[in-house]
Amino acid sequence: MYSSHHHKHHARRLLCLTALLCFAAGGTAYACTRKAAVPQLPELSAESLEQPAEYGVQQSPLTAAQAQAILDDPRMILVSRTHPITEDYPVETKECGSATAINKTLQTEAADAFLAMQAAAAKDGVDVRMQSGYRSVSYQKKLYDNKTQYYRNKGLSEAAAREKAATIVNPPGCSEHNCGLAADLNSPEHTTLDTGFADTAAFRWLCENAEQYGFILRYPKEAESVTGITYEPWHWRYVGAENAALLNQSGLCLEDAVAVLQRIAAGETVTG
């Protein structure tokens, strides 16, 4: 399993978070079912986890400090229109894209994980390719400004042009691609980035195995109202193998998980 060296260091807090997220209210179920098992973590003592109440209500066993530590994990960064990143966000990248990729790199750790995942898929006779990865905030600004200008040329006002452009191209700093942890994947059987990818062997393989390499389906159908992004079966996000296992087991999308963790880090008692 990729990045297995992380497991010993984080095992105890991650098991606590697993218990928390499994009972958290309002979680959004993921679209994929998985063959891969959640990593085996050492058991906590009986007194360290509170037992579920009669109707499945459980207080969080996670301390504020533990929750904050998970939030501080750089692989768990939340990037969206309500959580933009700055232009000076530090990114070290490595090439892992296909020959036809538009943006061929990801953050180095994510690139290594993807290449390991791609090799594993190939052993199973499945061809998974990285078609679009890291885009700098400045590059994102160029895309957004070009699209805005397109609508200005159509006669829209400045405000209307920017609003219309934002429905197609995320404003700078608001795209997950700007952090270098998001990958648009495809395969020779379906090269376009659209929902048709969900009908491919590559997508089915990813649903069963991507977790082991630290990737999650970032924008599943059931989470559209939370993420604000329509279903994107081609868009996969690197969070690290242990975090991916937690998110998938809990059924929480990244927004939901971060919201729960923030409440605990602020000292609130979270019950399901």
Catalytic residue set: 232
| Cα–Cα distance for residue pair 247/249, rounded to 1 Å | 6
Task: Please give the single-letter amino acid code of residue 45.
Answer: S
Which residues are CB-contacts of 238 (< 8 A; sequence separation ≥ 6)?
A: 75, 106, 107, 109, 110, 113, 114, 181, 182, 183, 214, 215
- Write out the DSSP string of the chain: -TTTHHHHHHHHHHHHHHHHHHH-TT----S----SPPPP-PPPPGGGSPPP-TTS-------HHHHHHHHT-GGG---BTTB---TT----EEE---TT-SB-EEEHHHHHHHHHHHHHHHHTT---EEEE----HHHHHHHHHHHHHHHHHTT--HHHHHHHHHTTSPPTT-SGGGGT-EEEEEBTTB-SSSGGGGGSHHHHHHHHHGGGGTEEESS-GGGHHHHSS---TTEEEE--HHHHHHHHHHT--HHHHHHHHHHHHTT-----
